[in-house]
Structure 1
């Protein structure tokens, strides 16, 4: 989970713990840290804030997609922006799906079901 806002990271972490009990989560605060983490380990899913300091989510995603094992790992864009075309820009950068802030646990569950096959019908 890459997000520069500690409150967002805490909320997202809590939501994910509720939806995926027992899963292990790593939190980073910028895109550069996300790329570095992915160089060391392969994750099953990445939540990528779009606007972050040092390296934004678009550049981080492009770098991650070049790493071995990351061609098909779901990267989910997370953005507060409602700018026209933002979802398309995320897809062009290599992201698989899009969550618009603020989102609910139901929104998160739909994305998890669509991208990692997480069960459950809420």
Structure 2
């Protein structure tokens, strides 16, 4: 069972994703803004972070930059979740420090494949 931090301000998205991930056997931690996400990542050491990029207080771009700059969180895989699906948006997420990128609305089987790929890497290392 992996510990996944979901950083998402939209209640419907949070509810849907957390319930589906819990049904897959994962422990879900929830932060509703980027600042809370950075704080929880530092205190809880999740195995993976799902980061909405359009967040209040501290957006996902800056939260990701901060997490990748901190020694205790820089190795945690971060998957960006964003409604921004234009050409170049994936590159922008990767440049901010995200390890992967997925678009909203979330296509759950595709997202699970990405999550499983990162979690199996963690087990192997």
TM class by shorter-chain length?
0.7 to 0.9
CA offsets per residue over residues 14-44 of structure 1, 9 Å max, x none?
Answer: 121122x1x3211111101101112212110
In the TM superposition, what whole-angstrom CA distance separates every residue of 1:62-112 from its partner, at most 9, and x where no partner exists? 111122222221100000111221110100011001110112221122111
Partners of 1:63 and 1:11 in 2: how far apart? Answer: 27
The TM-score normalised by the length of structure 2 is: 0.86
Does the Cα contact within 8 Å between 2:42 and 2:72 map onto a contact in 1?
Answer: no
Number of the residue aligned with 1:84:
87
Match of 1:63 among 51, 63, 66: 66
Are residues 1:16 and 2:7 paired? Answer: no
User: Moved runs in structure 1, 4+ residues, more than 3 A?
Assistant: none
What is the TM-score with the length of structure 1 in the denominator?
Answer: 0.88
What value does the CA root-mean-square deviation take over the aligned residues? 1.4
Unaligned runs of 5+ in 1: none
Matched positions, count: 116
Q: Which structure features the higher share of strand residues?
A: 2
Gap regions ≥5 residues in structure 2? 1-5
Matched, 1:98 2:123: no
Q: Where does residue 3 of structure 2 map in the other structure? A: none
